[in-house]
Amino acid sequence: MNRMLEVRDVSFSYGPIQALKQVAFHVDKGEIVAMLGANGAGKTTLLKNISGLLKPSSGIIQFNGEDITPLEAEKIVQKKLIQVPEHRQVFSTMTVLDNLYLGAYHHYKSTGKKEIEEEVEKVFSLFPILKERKDQLGGTLSGGQQQMLAIARSIMAKPDLLLLDEPSLGLAPLIVKEVLQYVRNMRDEFGVTVLLIEQNVNASLKIADRGYVMAHGSIIKEGTSESLLNDTEVREAFLGHTLN
């Protein structure tokens, strides 16, 4: 498979506290890769380093064969590496439809209105509830619907790689399964490669191809989703509290 993202020996510190310690992993084109671990493991810090919001103290991040380590976040977005942050962060005073149009901001002029409208309809086919609520303000949607809107808005940016940070955070178990299934459908129908940051091990590994486990700023395990789900050490020592 084509190597889309490669993180090589990335370290990062918040002052005297080392949050990432020579982290190395990769994501191939077309994969869903889950990055797992408890709170404080370094998962969100890792995503921020990849997306350019933070800069590693050492190491290299390559995207589609290009070293993006020194690039600013806006330049990385333009290369079609898009992050959906935790807590959803939809534009609460804008309608669902306007949130989606805003997702296409970087390519609106080059794409044209007609194609953008076609993209919106494709997104609505994946998230039919959003079509029903297209004129509703983003802030009045349920938590699960806001998460769907955040993901749908990111699709409008035409990402090659989507970084999803804790999409299940604060959602009821049934809604978690629904949202994560939408992530799988998005990969299958739109061809988007996904790096998924999650605490919900069971649900995320059921949709992922491979996974890594982080603890204390380092990757301590990696494998196929099936092998990690069946790994006794992973279940009991690191992630047992999230399995259900």
Which residue(s) pair with 34 in the sheet? 196, 211
Average pLDDT of the chain, as a whole number: 87
Amino acid found at 229: L
* 82-138 pLDDT tens trace: 988 766 678 888 999 998 888 876 665 566 677 788 888 888 888 888 999 999 998
Region 3-242: CATH code: 3.40.50.300
Report CA-CA distances (Å) from 97 to 152, 156, 181. Answer: 10, 11, 22
Angle between helices 173-190 and 143-155 (to 10 degrees): 10
Yes or no: say if 168 and 34 are a contact pair by the CB < 8 Å rule. Answer: no
84 Cβ contact partners less than 8 Å away, ≥ 6 residues apart: 150, 151, 154, 162, 163, 164, 165, 167
pLDDT of residue 151: 84
- 80-90 burial by CB neighbour count: b if 16+ within 10 A, else e? bbbbbbbebeb
What are the residue ranges of helices labelled H in the chain? Answer: 43-51, 73-78, 96-103, 108-111, 113-126, 128-132, 143-155, 173-190, 201-207, 225-229, 232-233
Spans of all domains in the chain:
3-242
Highest mean predicted confidence (pLDDT) among 11-20, 113-122, 159-168 = 11-20
Among 28-42, 146-160, 208-222, the range scoring the smallest mean pLDDT is 146-160
Yes or no: say if 214 and 50 are a contact pair by the CB < 8 Å rule. Answer: no
Highest mean predicted confidence (pLDDT) among 40-44, 50-54, 116-120 = 50-54
Q: Taking the model in full, what pTM does it have?
A: 0.85
